[in-house]
A and B are shown apart, each in its own frame.
Chain A
Amino acid sequence: MRLGRALRPKEPRHFLVATAAGALVVLTFVVASWLRPWSPKRGLGLFFGIAAALAFVLEMAYPLRRPKGRFFGTAKAWLQIHVYVGSVAFVGVLAHAGFRWPGGAMGWGLLLLSAWVCGSGLVGVLLQKWLPAALAEGLRVEALYERIPSLVDGLTREADALMADTSEALERFYADEVRPRLSRPTPSWTYLLDVRADRERSLGPFERMARFVEPEEQARVADLMSLFTEKLELDAHYTVQGLLRRWLIVHVPPAGLLMALLVVHVVTWMRY
């Protein structure tokens, strides 16, 4: 299935390398901690800590590269680096802490924040693989997120024009049942699970209506149905694209907070 294929890594080689790196970190930790007690302040523990901190700083290069618009390589390469280095860096953080619960406020803060940032990042990666494929496969219409309200207005106007001179039953049907749902975008979380959610149920009334009206008006009902279908698809776009945009709020500000805590952590380490 196309969707199943969409979840695979874009660059399997990078995925393998990153997994191997993570496994190497864990293995090194297991061996080293069997030989000597593990301390985040000395030896390998310190090395992992510094490496993870530098990796987090490198992570910032991805969002900060944007303003200039010129940088080495493509954005795709940078995103690959961002995701994989971030994942391995988190394993490095765990290794630095010795795979044990932290002992104080700063330790908990750093661990939880890095877990949140990395976790939300990976959730974001999954979303970015799953949702666009769902949209592309399941829908015909394609729209810009910011334009959807005006597109819906356009559809409403078209529908109004279509329904201008019709029989009373149809007009009532249109005014009572269709127009309220047509005139505003109505996002719904069910679109996240299935972009064509409730399609039959929403379009059912049109089909029933088509049976009741005169043959001349059936074409109009069919047109109205396809119009309404477009509107439903725009709703799906509104929901899904909205989520794709809002996800960043969950990922980036905590990352800023994490960097601040990291700075404090490094400063206290260097000073003491």
Chain B
Amino acid sequence: MPRLSAWFVRAALSYLTLGFTFGALMLANKGIPLHPLLWRLLPAHIEFLLFGWTVQLAFGVAFWILPRWQTQRGDLRPAWAAFILLNGGIWLVVLGGWSNGPAWWLAAGRLLEVAAMAAFAVHAWPRVKPWVEETK
């Protein structure tokens, strides 16, 4: 597995742990009320599991297994940018929500996430190619 995939997948597994922990706390709190503040974990639970876990794992595995040119994976810069932007965006959204920060904080987080998706698409687009090109 290439270095960037390992980073994506390790980060995804870390978010899975956090997201499952928050989800378990909220579900237990639904069964036996522990503390009303636990409901504030909901946006982080969703953010960590949808973007931190699922999307990030998909990026990591796609970077690893999409077709290559000989041994090369093309321009790595947008893929690394996607990793940094995605994780920066996730934490901006989560911390902005927890701290009741200004609306632009959440918007900035979402903007980084959009930029991450675009950057990954820029990297992956040329690697989605027919078999015939690989034999040239």
Q: Do A and B come from one complex?
A: no
B residues near A (Cβ < 8 Å) are none
A→B interface (CB under 8 Å): none
